[in-house]
């Protein structure tokens, strides 16, 4: 039923909890997981600032490289459990890229954390997960943080 799953991750503790659920979803037919990390480029629309601080232009690149490493570790864990993986590192606005990849990869389910790196106590959901839940076409499995 859920043969191809989209797993957007910011590598936060909350989003990592999802990996165990992805493995358990094998019993529900999960064969392949698309691990997606979006490098948020919203703060990178000020080209002039790069003249003063050239190292800033490398920030997105650095994040993409470390994201690839983290994603490979997750992929290995899933592969060991017999699930195929695709790693995608995209640049843009996280919720928009998640919805674009949902269509492009034609997934049957999205597994997302309720919160991410900000993990504000008072918030029911993070802003990325809220928008994805609102706008996604496919079912969304929300993995909750602990201690809620």
Ligand X SMILES: Nc1ncnc2c1ncn2[C@@H]1O[C@H](COP(=O)(O)OP(=O)(O)OP(=O)(O)O)[C@@H](O)[C@H]1O
Residues that bind ligand X (CB under 6 A): 8-10, 12, 14-15, 36-38, 40, 94, 112-113, 115-119, 126-129
34: closest CA among 93, 127, 106?
106
Contact partner at residue 41 from ligand X, Mg ion, none, CB < 5 to 8 Å by partner kind: none
Q: What CA–CA distance (Å, rounded) separates 89 from 38? A: 6
Q: Are the CB atoms for 116 and 126 separated by under 8 Å? A: yes
Tell me the Cα Rg of the chain: 16
Question: CB-wise, 34 or 112, nearer to Mg ion?
Answer: 112
- Which listed option, Mg ion, ligand X, none, makes contact with residue 108 (CB within 5 to 8 Å by class)? none
List residues binding Mg ion (CB under 5 A).
116, 118
Geometric angle at alpha carbon 127, from 56 and 48, rounded to 5°: 20
In angstroms, give the least distance from the CB of 135 to ligand X: 13
Q: Which does 101 bind (CB under 5 to 8 A by kind): ligand X, Mg ion, none?
A: none
Report residue 83: phi and psi, to 5°.
Answer: -110, 130
Nearer to Mg ion, 25 or 126 (CB): 126
Beta carbon of residue 13, minimum distance to ligand X (angstroms, whole number): 9
């Amino acid at each position: 039923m859920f043969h191809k799953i989209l797993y957007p991750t910011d590598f936060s503790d909350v989003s990592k909890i999802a990996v165990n659920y992805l493995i358990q979803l094998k019993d529900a037919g999960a064969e392949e997981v698309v691990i997606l990390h979006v490098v948020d480029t919203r703060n990178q629309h000020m080209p002039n600032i790069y003249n003063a601080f050239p190292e800033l232009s490398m920030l997105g690149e650095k994040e993409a490289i470390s994201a690839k490493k983290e994603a490979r570790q997750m992929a290995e864990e899933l592969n060991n459990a017999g699930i195929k993986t695709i790693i995608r590192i995209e640049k843009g606005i996280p919720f928009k890229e998640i919805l674009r990849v949902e269509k492009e990869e034609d997934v049957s389910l999205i597994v997302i954390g309720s919160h991410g790196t900000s993990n504000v106590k008072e918030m029911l959901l993070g802003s990325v997960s809220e928008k994805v839940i609102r706008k996604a076409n496919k079912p969304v499995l929300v993995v909750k943080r602990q201690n809620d």
